[in-house]
Each structure stands twice: as structure tokens, then as C-alpha cells.
Chains A and B, each alone.
Chain A
Amino acid sequence: MTARSNGEVQEAIADMLADYGHLIDADRLEEWLDFFVEDSVYKIMPRENVVKGLPLSLMLCENKNMIRDRITSLRQANVYNIHVDRHVIGRPRIVGEEDGVYSIEANYAVFQTDQDGMTRVFSVGQYVDKVVFLDDGPKFKEKVVVVDTAAVPTLLATPL
């Protein structure tokens, strides 16, 4: 593995998060999928369950195939509110590193805009992620979206 300075790591992860949010907002979920390694967990947890030590999530993908299936279901099966997402993601904090696996945290806000052009705060929370560096850049080994906005407005279709 190439040696990276802290600054390079920080910048690479920040760039990845920016692209991550952009690809969801642009409805390019099939490309968004490439940010995850095959055995990556993707999980959306209400903060109140995390605080209580309860395991239930709002969305649970135990591997990349289950993330794929979420996208398939969105494309083929699910009927949901017609909307545009807009992610605003804060600067990631690198909170630890072990054997090349970086633990990071970043605040996020997702605004949702409907067909009337009305925008609401859809979800606010924190990404609690594990990131590894592969040849083609940083990837999520685990991504846990801890949602403060536990009362999901209307429904949760597109990933956060």
C-alpha cells in the first residue's frame, strides 16, 4: 500500500463523500454502488435505537449485493414520492485507523424537494464509516448512517 500523508487521506475521503452525495442526488445509484467493497455493510440507524443499544435499522444491507437489490427494487418495484435529493456533507473527521481501515465521521443534511418546488429538511445525522484504500481509491467497508431525524418524513426510498 502506498504511504499516504494524513492530509492526503483526509482529502481523498472528503472527495469521496462529496462524490457519494452527488451521485445519489443525481440519481446515479448504479455508480454510487461502486463506493462499497463487496462485503460492505450499509445501514441506516435511527439514533434513538443506537442510544438504547437496540439493533433495529431503517435500512439494512449486509453486503454489496443487498445494496444492489435495494437499487433494483427502487428501479423496478417501489412506488415513492417524486422528489429531488440534495446532500450537504460536512468535513469528515478521521477518528481512528487500524490496519489501513480508517474510522471516519461526518455530519450530513439531506434536503428533499417535491414537484411543487417546496423543499424540506428530510434527514439530518451523521455518517459513521469505515473506509479502506484500494487501487482505485477509497471505498466504504462499512457505512452506518445514524439518523437524528428519526421520524422519517413520509417514507425512506433513496439512500442517505
Chain B
Amino acid sequence: MRNEPDYTWPRDDFSRIPYGVYHDKNIYDEEQYRIFRGPTWNYLAFEAEVPNPGDFKSVFVGDTPVVVSRDTDGTVHAFINRCAHRGSTVCREEFGNTKSHVCVYHLWSYDLAGNLTGVPFRNGVKGKGGLPKDFDLGCHGLRKLRVEVYCGIIFGTFSDESESLAEYLDESVMKHLARLMHKPIRILGYQRQYIRGNWKLYTDNVRDPNHGGLLHPFQVRFGIARLTQWGGALLDRRNRHNISFVAEGTDSDEGAAEAYGESSAFQKDYGLADTAMLELRREFGDEITLSILSIYPGAVFHQIGNSLATRQVRTKGPDAFELYWTYYGYQDDDQEMTDHRLRQANMAGPGGLISMEDGEAIEIVHRAILREKESHAVVEYGGRGEIGSQDCLVTETPMRGGWSYYCELMGIQADKAPS
């Protein structure tokens, strides 16, 4: 690494995480190059968000601004949103439709693929000024990402060496994405959340099925996700990504009450005055009623009952990140089904009855570990040693999978686990 940090990884099963990596600015900078701009595939947007030629959407990969652009022939491109001339933001709007992307500063003009097509006063005025005669427009396009589309989901990578998207996602993730995207979708809207914590505390959170049945009492109370239900975590062959899943209705209130015992997570003495939100409509032909798919590094696809959304982690330095939520339904949903999805959206997002706790959990960790560079988080639910898929929810093993890939990307060598 350019800035070799001095953190110890005392176990090569990644059951210890040095807290310093959540605060260190050098580590953060290195992550941008090695992870977000490295050989990872990053979820950018849905095709449904840029359906027509000329449509574009401004997004982020890590903290790099990226434009997703639909070309006249239907191809989707992605490029860094930074003018090749003097670095200004080219595309200032979040969404739009255009024939070309023109930088407002000196009016350099790019086509929908990000190629530089024109600069004003290239030859100067009356033989004076202008660009050198040998200035080659072809060498000054916007920096492009490689793009692949799977099931209407647009992914991009900065690296020419990345494996194919299919290899990166692996069969388990592709199957789950195909399940979610089994018919054309319709965007229902966006939510944003600005959390004052390190982005990796969030990627930990979505690889930790154990917390779901403890931190989030609402879903425990109403049997939406409880540690006593059938569920687990499905990892890809290299343990980079994770699908945590739960099947509602596979335990009983009584059994759960007994298992939770005195734990504060399960309170039975209240109910809802309007239970429409709890209604579950099975639509995937399987038992899974809640699933949190996390694709390394910063993408999440969730199904909470009939609420469907993606979350994009947009890093804002070591101490903050934005969670950008995109909710969708299907084009053939009738109004009643759309209303149902919108009602169930109450359970997720920054104000989610289930998910609001995550914002607090991440901030209270981030605050408390500031001075603990050489102390370690303990990750042993689900066991030590080998990393793999889990057939129960009382596990945080998927986190260790995420960290094993993190260390590989960052060039960090973990010490051998004590035997």
C-alpha cells in the first residue's frame, strides 16, 4: 500500500476487525482506489431509470461522481462526471435527458458515450489563441467505466482487469437478482439518509443476520423477522456477497417468546390499530419473505414483505456516508398493489419502523471506537474458522466473508489464527 497502516489482523478467519480501519483517512483514500475504483463491480442504477435515448442519471461509486447515460442506439454508458479540461462537474442535474453533455465552464461538449466532440474557439480568433493544432479530441473524453447490464440492473467497474459481472456475482447472487427482477419494474421513488459513520459499519450491518432479530424490535414483535424463524445466509463461492433470508410464519409467538425469554427485543404487550401494513402477499413462488442481498462493496437489494428497494452506499469520507434508497414495484402492479408496497415502505428507509435503528447503531459504534485503533471487534457468532453459507440467523459469519475480500483487495495479510 502507498500508506502502509499499522493495524493488526490477528486471525486469518477475520473474526477480529481492528477498529482503526473505520476511522483512518489513509485507509479511506486507499479504499477508493483499491475497492471502489478497483476490480469490483458496482451497482449504478436500474435501466428503468434511464429508459430513453439521451436519459441520464448522476450517481456515485464510492465518492466518485459517475453519470449513467443511455445512448441513441440504446447502449448504456457510464463515465466519471468530471470534465477532461479543468475538472468541473459536467452533468449538474441528478436526472435528465439531453443530446449531449456540455460542461458549463468552457463549453466542452461530449456525446452520450462520454467522447469529447467539440470545444468552442478551438482555433482561436483571427489566428490567435485557441488550442494547439495537434490537440486530439479523441484523447480527452470523459473517463469511462466498463458497464454490464444484468436483468435490467446496470453495473460498472473502473478496472480493465475485473472478471466478468457473471463471475463476480456468482450463481447464487444472479439467481436472487433474477428472482427480484422477474418482470419489468416501475420506480416508486427515492429516499436518502446521511449517516455519520464509516461505510464499512453499514456493509457489516447487512452481513449480520443476528442483529436483525435483536436491534429491530418491531419486526420481532410482528414476526416479520425473528431469530427463531427459518432463515439463513447464502454466500457466493468466494464469500464476498451475502443473501440473508427469513421465512415468515415458520415459528410461533409462543415459541419465540420462550426463546427470547427476558430479552427486551420481544415485547408482546402491544399491537397495531391498523394491521394492513403487516399483510403479506406471496409473489415469488418460494418461502422467502424477507431478504437482504448485499453485493460487495456498496449495494443492497432488499425484499421486506412486498417492499422492494435497493440501497447504494455513497461514501463521504471516513466519517460519513449517504444511503441512497430506490424503491420499485412491477409494471403490472395494479393501484391496490402499488398502495400496498408504498404502505410497506414504512418499514424501511431512514424512517423505517424496522430499519431506523441501523442509523443509530452505526453512529454509536463510530463514536465509541474513535480512540481504539488497536482494539478489535469480535465476530464469532456462527463460529470461527471456515467461512460459508449459514442455515440459521444467529450468525455474523457473512461479515467475515466481506472482510476476507476487503483484505484481499487492500493487500492486507492477516495473521494466522491461534490454534
Cα–Cα, bound, A26→B356 (Å):
21
Cα–Cα, bound, A59→B343 (Å):
9
> Judging by beta carbons under 8 Å apart, are A60 and B342 in contact?
yes
| A52 beta carbon closer than 8 Å to chain B | yes
- Contact among B95, B191, B215, B358 for A52, CB-based, below 8 A: B95
A-B contact count (CB 8 A): 126
> Judging by beta carbons under 8 Å apart, are B267 and A76 in contact?
yes
> Judging by beta carbons under 8 Å apart, are B191 and A155 in contact?
no
> Judging by beta carbons under 8 Å apart, are A54 and B187 in contact?
yes
Q: Which B residues touch A63, using CB under 8 A?
A: 274
Q: Which B residues touch A156, using CB under 8 A?
A: 350-351, 356
Q: Which A residues touch B342, using CB under 8 A?
A: 55-57, 60
Q: Which of A45-83 contact B (CB under 8 A)?
A: 46, 48-49, 52, 54-60, 62-63, 65-66, 68-70, 72-73, 76-81
> Judging by beta carbons under 8 Å apart, are B187 and A77 in contact?
no
Cα–Cα, bound, A153→B192 (Å):
9
| B346 beta carbon closer than 8 Å to chain A | yes
- Known pairs A151-B193, A154-B195; A60 contacts B273 (CB<8 A): no
> Judging by beta carbons under 8 Å apart, are A154 and B360 in contact?
yes
Nearest-Cβ distance from residue A100 to partner chain B, whole angstroms: 27
> Judging by beta carbons under 8 Å apart, are A81 and B360 in contact?
yes
Nearest-Cβ distance from residue B381 to partner chain A, whole angstroms: 20
> Judging by beta carbons under 8 Å apart, are B272 and A49 in contact?
no
- Known pairs A78-B353, A151-B194, A155-B193; A56 contacts B217 (CB<8 A): no
Q: Which B residues touch A52, using CB under 8 A?
A: 95, 189
- Contact among B95, B189, B215, B272 for A46, CB-based, below 8 A: B189
Cα–Cα, bound, A87→B221 (Å):
32
> Judging by beta carbons under 8 Å apart, are A56 and B274 in contact?
no
| B83 beta carbon closer than 8 Å to chain A | no
Q: Which B residues touch A69, using CB under 8 A?
A: 272-274, 277
> Judging by beta carbons under 8 Å apart, are B267 and A56 in contact?
no
| B363 beta carbon closer than 8 Å to chain A | yes
What is the 8 Å Cβ interface bit string for chain B, positions 300-322, against chain A (1 contact, 0 not)?
Answer: 00000000000000000000001
Cα–Cα, bound, A151→B351 (Å):
12
Nearest-Cβ distance from residue A46 to partner chain B, whole angstroms: 7
Cα–Cα, bound, A153→B361 (Å):
14
**Most A-side CB within 10 Å, residue of B270, B356, B357:** B356
- Known pairs A60-B343, A73-B218; A155 contacts B359 (CB<8 A): yes
Known: A62-B276, A78-B218, A79-B361; 10 extra A-B contacts, CB below 8 A, are A44-B351, A48-B190, A54-B189, A60-B343, A69-B277, A76-B270, A80-B356, A81-B360, A150-B191, A154-B359
A interface residues, Cβ below 8 angstroms from B: 44, 46, 48-49, 52, 54-60, 62-63, 65-66, 68-70, 72-73, 76-81, 150-157
B interface residues, Cβ below 8 angstroms from A: 94-95, 187-196, 215, 217-218, 221, 267, 270-274, 276-277, 322, 327, 338, 342-343, 345-346, 349-351, 353, 356-361, 363
